[in-house]
């Protein structure tokens, strides 16, 4: 299929690290507000290094390939290194993703980071530390890009120039959302269809 | 060795049959003239267009002069809804359509809304069936057009068009039906149905892409979309797509000739798949109506897995199918048809549509039944939803 790169198709067909880890040190569950994909990442940490990663994914070919790639990229990395894995890195390692599938790469990185945060929370609790764990930097400010394909949006355009979706401003959070969408992908505000 | 392909995406378009290709080839090779020209070449072109018009009229039991050739089902739908509504704008401003219409009608209605029309979208039941009484209730003194599809391509449900047409006629309201998914697959008789206007497309019954038509009952007024020449009785300007029209005519003749046989063969394949798939795979839901459905159409939602993943794996095994899942669509939205039927987003993600064509054999269906379960199994093994379900069973 021309839509996906060979690398994506290879990971989709032979996904690495599928499954669960019993007694995982961290579990990250994320869901995609755009299309309803779900991902769960499990990590086992030893000496501040990700010793093992497993994932479960409900989603399209891109979501499965992204999960597999993220799991490979994270394995063996230290916690700070793994936290630095970005959506863009994952997409690049896969040789690119179709624009309307880029949000799948967000999901992969988010699930991994959520698992790490879960691990950090648990270890902090174990060490009885009361101070708040360092907040993790957000990669990009939201709203400056199309929430569906991540194409850049300058100001409030009527269309995303990348994926051609009709956009409008969410009445709640003022960020860009699809014109006909019932739910804002940023803040989850539901609009009543007229 | 190249893998044998099993094409099960009738709803995306059927391959043109041999006779259609031959008719179109000889039309192109003859180098016919413009049907509007008065000399011999033009008159010959007019003659083949008229012959095709007669063949199509025979298929749907209309008069030949009630056929308007168009470029696509979408164009026919736009012409019907906008054309009928605008022609009666002085009598009212209300339009009714079902909630599961094709996107070309949904968007055409939205565009009419922008120019002042009011639109009522009538809900369907869990099988995708429109209730004629709901249409009756939605009618107002200002209603000018009602549009309900003959059959739905996502879930296969065949709608009670005759009853709805009767209601509209008795109230003096124009009725259009999008019969793109139905014509050529099931008998469609515009007289018996009592419709004013009906859309159809050649690529749904082994004719070429880019060739479609609108039936418009004689005497029914319609405002054209395209301004220009006198072609198609002034209803659709632009030089005729002569080879496309010839292909459509040939496809119509073949459909009429083999309607019963084709229906019987398709139904046998469909019923085998609908009966056997739930025996091979657990947690499979048939979408659409179990009886009132297109003979070539079997559609399901497979729980705990997503449609695009299944589609890609089937493709790698040589099988072409469609999905109504959000991920499989460019707009990342699940098919509105599934959601309108009350199917939740997660289940809708597992949508697959198998639609058979003339070439489909019983062996193809057996091959699908063998290949498909391991694919679902593989995807379920990595699905968090499936594990949640298994956990709950414990």
Answer yes or no: is B6 within a domain. Answer: no
- Which among A18, A29, A58 has CB closest to B306? A58
Q: What is the pLDDT of residues B306-339, one digit of tens each?
A: 999 999 999 999 999 999 888 777 777 789 999 9
| Contact state of B332 with A29 under an 8 Å Cβ cutoff | no
Closest CA in chain A for residue B348 = A36
Q: Measure in Å the smallest separation between the Cα of B65 and chain A Cα atoms.
A: 40
Is the pLDDT at A28 greater than 90? The verdict is: yes
Q: In this prediction, what percent of chain B has a pLDDT beyond 70? A: 100
Is the pLDDT at B2 greater than 80? The verdict is: no
Task: Please indicate, yes or no, whether residues B125 and B141 belong to a single structural domain of this protein.
Answer: yes
Q: What angle do CA B218, B222, B228 make, to 5 degrees?
A: 110
Task: Please indicate, yes or no, whether residues B62 and B81 belong to a single structural domain of this protein.
Answer: yes
User: How many Å apart are CA A176 and CA A47, to the nearest integer?
Assistant: 42
Q: What is the DSSP string of A74-122?
A: HTT-BHHHHHT--HHHHHHHTT---GGGHHHHHHHHHHHHHHHHHHHHH
User: In angstroms, how far is CA B281 from the centroid of its own chain?
Assistant: 28
What per-residue confidence (pLDDT) applies to B298?
98
Q: Measure in Å the smallest separation between the Cα of B374 and chain A Cα atoms.
A: 13
Q: What is the pLDDT of residues B212-225, one digit of tens each?
A: 999 999 999 999 99
**What average pLDDT does range B185-214 have in this prediction?**
98
User: How many Å apart are CA A16 and CA A24, to the nearest integer?
Assistant: 18
What per-residue confidence (pLDDT) applies to A180?
66
Average pLDDT of chain B to the nearest whole number:
96
Q: What is the pLDDT of residues A77-97, one digit of tens each?
A: 999 999 999 989 999 999 999
Q: What is the pLDDT of residues A140-174, one digit of tens each?
A: 444 456 666 556 565 555 655 555 566 777 666 66
**Chain B residues close to A58, C-beta within 8 Å:** 304-306, 349, 383-385
**What average pLDDT does range A100-114 have in this prediction?**
88
Q: Is the dihedral of CA A82, A84, A85, A87 positive or negative?
A: positive
User: How many Å apart are CA B354 and CA B109, to the nearest integer?
Assistant: 29
What per-residue confidence (pLDDT) applies to A138?
43
- Which among B315, B333, B382 has CB closest to A57? B382
User: How many Å apart are CA B313 and CA B182, to the nearest integer?
Assistant: 29
Instruction: Write down which residue in B233, B257, B281 finishes a domain.
Output: B257
Answer yes or no: is B12 within a domain. Answer: no
User: How many Å apart are CA B180 and CA B55, to the nearest integer?
Assistant: 17
Closest CA in chain B for residue A55 = B382
Task: Please indicate, yes or no, whether residues B101 and B209 belong to a single structural domain of this protein.
Answer: yes
What per-residue confidence (pLDDT) applies to B334?
84
Task: Please indicate, yes or no, whether residues B282 and B244 belong to a single structural domain of this protein.
Answer: no
- What does R_g of chain A's alpha carbons equal in angstroms? 18
Is the pLDDT at A46 greater than 70? The verdict is: yes
Query: Containing H/E element for A13?
Result: helix A6-13
| Contact state of A61 with B309 under an 8 Å Cβ cutoff | yes
Range of the domain at B320: 259-393
Answer yes or no: is B183 within a domain. Answer: yes
User: How many Å apart are CA B385 and CA B306, to the nearest integer?
Assistant: 11
Task: Please indicate, yes or no, whether residues B90 and B121 belong to a single structural domain of this protein.
Answer: yes
A60 Cβ under 8 Å from any chain B Cβ: yes
Q: Which residues, 6+ apart, have CB-to-CB distance to B255 below 8 Å?
A: B59, B183, B184, B205, B206, B262
Q: Thinking of the domain A6-126, which architecture would CATH place it in?
A: Alpha-Beta Complex (3.90)
3-state SS of B277-330 is HHHHCCCEEECCCCCCECCCEEEEEECCCCHHHHHHHHHHCCEECECCCCCCCC
Task: Please indicate, yes or no, whether residues B312 and B207 belong to a single structural domain of this protein.
Answer: no
In this structure, what are the phi and psi dihedrals at residue B142, rounded to the nearest 5 degrees? Answer: -95, 5
- What does R_g of chain B's alpha carbons equal in angstroms? 22
Asked if A76 contacts A44 with a C-beta cutoff of 8 angstroms, the reply is: no
A38-52, A116-130, B286-300: which range is least confident on average?
Answer: A116-130
Is the pLDDT at A33 greater than 70? The verdict is: no
**What average pLDDT does range B94-122 have in this prediction?**
97
Q: In this prediction, what percent of chain A has a pLDDT beyond 70? A: 65
**Chain A residues close to B308, C-beta within 8 Å:** 60-61
Closest CA in chain A for residue B388 = A56
What per-residue confidence (pLDDT) applies to B56?
98
Q: Which among A104, A146, A160, A170 is annotated as catalytic? A: A104
What per-residue confidence (pLDDT) applies to B324?
87
Specify the 3-state DSSP secondary structure of B198.
strand
| Residue ranges per structural domain of chain A | 6-126, 140-194
Answer yes or no: is B383 within a domain. Answer: yes
Structure tokens at B98: 């079902």
Closest CA in chain B for residue A160 = B331
Q: What is the ipTM of this complex?
A: 0.86
What per-residue confidence (pLDDT) applies to A154?
56
Interfacial residues of B (vs A; Cβ cutoff 8 Å): 304-309, 312-313, 315-316, 325-328, 330-334, 345-346, 349, 381-385, 387
Task: Please indicate, yes or no, whether residues B378 and B229 belong to a single structural domain of this protein.
Answer: no
Is the pLDDT at A112 greater than 60? The verdict is: yes
Is the pLDDT at A135 greater than 90? The verdict is: no
User: How many Å apart are CA A172 and CA A165, to the nearest integer?
Assistant: 20
Asked if B147 contacts B195 with a C-beta cutoff of 8 angstroms, the reply is: no
**Chain A residues close to B345, C-beta within 8 Å:** 36
Task: Please indicate, yes or no, whether residues B68 and B28 belong to a single structural domain of this protein.
Answer: yes
Strand order of the β-sheet with A38-46 is A26-31, A38-46, A49-58
Q: Which residues, 6+ apart, have CB-to-CB distance to B323 below 8 Å?
A: B307, B308, B310, B311, B351, B352, B353
Structure tokens at A128: 């009885």
pLDDT confidence tier of residue A37, bands split at 50, 70 and 90: confident
pTM of the model: 0.87
What per-residue confidence (pLDDT) applies to B219?
96
Answer yes or no: is B265 within a domain. Answer: yes
| Contact state of A35 with B315 under an 8 Å Cβ cutoff | no
Task: Please indicate, yes or no, whether residues B310 and B369 belong to a single structural domain of this protein.
Answer: yes
What per-residue confidence (pLDDT) applies to B115?
92
Answer yes or no: is B125 within a domain. Answer: yes
User: How many Å apart are CA B181 and CA B293, to the nearest integer?
Assistant: 11
Q: What is the pLDDT of residues B252-284, one digit of tens each?
A: 999 999 999 999 999 999 999 999 999 999 999
| Contact state of B325 with A60 under an 8 Å Cβ cutoff | yes
The residue to which tokens 């599961």 are assigned: B100
Query: Containing H/E element for B347?
Result: helix B345-348
Q: Which residues of B363-392 are buried (b: 16+ CB within 10 A; e: fewer)?
A: ebbebbbebbeebbebbbebbbbbbeeeee
What per-residue confidence (pLDDT) applies to A32?
73
User: How many Å apart are CA A25 and CA B129, to the nearest integer?
Assistant: 50
| Contact state of A58 with B332 under an 8 Å Cβ cutoff | no
Is the pLDDT at B386 greater than 70? The verdict is: yes
Total domain count, chain B: 2
Closest CA in chain B for residue A182 = B333
In this structure, what are the phi and psi dihedrals at residue B60, rounded to the nearest 5 degrees? Answer: -105, 5
A53 Cβ under 8 Å from any chain B Cβ: no
Is the pLDDT at B113 greater than 90? The verdict is: yes
A13-17, A54-58, B27-31, B44-48: which range is least confident on average?
Answer: B27-31
**Chain A residues close to B334, C-beta within 8 Å:** 36
**What average pLDDT does range A19-32 have in this prediction?**
92
| Contact state of A20 with B308 under an 8 Å Cβ cutoff | no
Q: Which residues, 6+ apart, have CB-to-CB distance to B312 below 8 Å?
A: A1, A9, A12, A61
User: In angstroms, how far is CA A65 from the centroid of its own chain?
Assistant: 12
pLDDT confidence tier of residue B232, bands split at 50, 70 and 90: very high
Closest CA in chain B for residue A180 = B333
CATH code at position B186: 3.40.640.10
What per-residue confidence (pLDDT) applies to B19?
98
Write the CA distances from B8 to B5, B26, B376, integer angstroms. 9, 29, 18
Instruction: Write down which residue in B257, B287, B305 finishes a domain.
Output: B257
What per-residue confidence (pLDDT) applies to A139?
44
Helices (H) and strands (E) counted in chain B, each on its own, are 14, 12
What per-residue confidence (pLDDT) applies to A130?
45
User: How many Å apart are CA B160 and CA B127, to the nearest integer?
Assistant: 13
Specify the 3-state DSSP secondary structure of B377.
helix
Write the CA distances from B33 to A118, B67, B186, B211, integer angstroms. 74, 21, 35, 18
Structure tokens at A31: 């869901």
In this structure, what are the phi and psi dihedrals at residue A96, rounded to the nearest 5 degrees? Answer: 100, 155
Answer yes or no: is B188 within a domain. Answer: yes
Q: What is the DSSP string of B205-225?
A: TTS-TT-EEEEE-TT-----S
Task: Please indicate, yes or no, whether residues B352 and B228 belong to a single structural domain of this protein.
Answer: no
What per-residue confidence (pLDDT) applies to B358?
96
Tell me which of B183 and A141 has the higher pLDDT.
Answer: B183
Residues in chain B, total = 394
What per-residue confidence (pLDDT) applies to A188?
58
Q: What is the pLDDT of residues B340-366, one digit of tens each?
A: 999 998 999 999 999 999 999 999 999
What per-residue confidence (pLDDT) applies to A186?
59
- Which among B327, B328, B384 has CB closest to A40? B384
Write the CA distances from A118 to A47, A71, A125, integer angstroms. 16, 16, 11
Q: B327 catalytic, yes or no?
A: yes
- Which among B309, B333, B387 has CB closest to A60? B309
CATH code at position B348: 3.90.1150.10
Is the pLDDT at A9 greater than 60? The verdict is: yes
Which of B109, B123, B309, B332 is best to mutate for the A interface (most A CBs within 10 A)? B332
Task: Please indicate, yes or no, whether residues B247 and B290 belong to a single structural domain of this protein.
Answer: no
Is the pLDDT at B11 greater than 80? The verdict is: yes
In this structure, what are the phi and psi dihedrals at residue B18, rounded to the nearest 5 degrees? Answer: -55, -45
Answer yes or no: is B5 within a domain. Answer: no
A120-124, A174-178, B289-293: which range is least confident on average?
Answer: A174-178
Instruction: Write down which residue in B198, B227, B257 finishes a domain.
Output: B257
A29 Cβ under 8 Å from any chain B Cβ: yes
Under 8 Å CB pairs connecting chains A and B tally to 71
Task: Please indicate, yes or no, whether residues B86 and B215 belong to a single structural domain of this protein.
Answer: yes
Q: What is the DSSP string of B53-75?
A: HHHHHHHHT--GGGEEEES-HHH
Q: A160 catalytic, yes or no?
A: no
Q: What is the pLDDT of residues B41-96, one digit of tens each?
A: 999 999 999 999 999 999 999 999 999 999 999 999 999 999 999 999 999 999 99
Q: What is the pLDDT of residues B131-182, one digit of tens each?
A: 999 999 999 999 999 999 999 999 999 999 999 999 999 999 999 999 999 9
**Chain B residues close to A34, C-beta within 8 Å:** 326, 332
**What average pLDDT does range A30-43 have in this prediction?**
85
């Amino acid at each position: 299929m021309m839509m996906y790169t060979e690398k994506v198709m290879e990971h989709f067909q032979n996904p690495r690290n599928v499954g669960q880890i019993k007694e995982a040190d961290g579990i990250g569950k994320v869901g995609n507000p755009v299309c309803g994909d779900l991902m769960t990442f499990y990590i086992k940490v030893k000496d501040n290094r990700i010793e093992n990663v497993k994932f479960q994914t409900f989603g399209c070919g891109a979501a499965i390939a992204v999960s597999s790639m993220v799991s490979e990229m994270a394995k063996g990395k230290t916690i700070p290194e793994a936290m630095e894995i970005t959506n863009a890195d994952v997409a690049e390692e896969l040789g690119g993703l179709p624009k309307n599938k880029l949000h799948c790469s967000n999901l992969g990185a988010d699930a991994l980071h959520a698992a790490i945060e879960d691990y950090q929370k648990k270890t902090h609790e174990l060490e009885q530390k009361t101070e708040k764990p360092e907040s993790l930097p957000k990669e990009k400010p939201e709203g400056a890009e199309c929430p569906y394909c991540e194409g850049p949006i300058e100001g409030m355009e009527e269309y995303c120039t990348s994926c051609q979706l009709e956009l409008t401003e969410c009445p709640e959070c003022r960020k860009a959302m699809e014109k006909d969408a019932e739910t804002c992908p940023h803040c989850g505000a539901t609009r009543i269809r007229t | 060795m190249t893998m044998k392909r099993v094409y099960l995406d009738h709803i995306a378009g059927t391959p043109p049959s041999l006779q259609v290709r031959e008719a179109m080839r000889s039309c192109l090779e003859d180098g016919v003239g413009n049907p509007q020209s008065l000399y011999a070449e033009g008159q010959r072109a007019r003659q083949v267009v008229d012959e095709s018009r007669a063949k199509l009229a025979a298929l749907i039991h209309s008069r030949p002069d009630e056929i308007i050739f168009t470029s696509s089902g979408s164009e026919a739908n736009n012409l019907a809804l906008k054309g009928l509504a605008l022609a009666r704008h002085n009598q009212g401003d209300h339009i009714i359509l079902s909630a599961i219409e094709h996107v070309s009608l949904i968007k055409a209605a939205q565009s009419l809304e922008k120019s002042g029309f009011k639109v009522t979208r009538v809900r369907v039941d869990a099988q995708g069936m429109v209730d004629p009484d709901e249409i009756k209730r939605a009618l107002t003194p200002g209603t000018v057009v009602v549009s309900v599809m003959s059959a739905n391509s996502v879930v296969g449900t065949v709608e009670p068009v005759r009853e709805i047409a009767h209601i509209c006629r008795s109230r003096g309201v124009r009725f259009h039906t999008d019969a793109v998914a139905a014509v050529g697959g099931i008998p469609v008789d515009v007289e018996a149905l009592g419709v004013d206007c009906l859309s159809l497309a050649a690529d749904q019954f082994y004719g070429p892409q880019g060739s479609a038509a609108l039936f418009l009952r004689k005497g029914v007024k319609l405002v054209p979309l395209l301004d220009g020449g006198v072609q198609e009785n002034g209803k659709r300007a632009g030089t005729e797509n002569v080879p496309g029209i010839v292909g459509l005519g040939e496809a119509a003749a073949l459909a009429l000739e083999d309607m019963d046989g084709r229906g019987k063969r398709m139904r046998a394949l469909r019923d085998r798949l609908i009966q056997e798939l739930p025996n091979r795979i657990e947690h499979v839901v048939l979408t659409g109506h179990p009886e009132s459905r297109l003979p070539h159409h079997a559609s399901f939602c497979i729980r705990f897995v997503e449609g695009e993943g299944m589609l890609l794996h089937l493709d790698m095994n040589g099988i072409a199918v469609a999905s109504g899942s959000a991920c499989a669509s460019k707009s990342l939205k699940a098919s509105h048809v599934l959601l309108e039927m009350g199917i939740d987003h997660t289940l809708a993600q597992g949508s697959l549509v198998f639609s058979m064509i003339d070439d489909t054999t019983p062996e193809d269906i057996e091959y699908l039944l063998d290949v498909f379960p391991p694919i679902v199994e593989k995807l379920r093994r990595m699905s968090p939803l499936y594990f949640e379900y298994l956990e709950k069973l414990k």
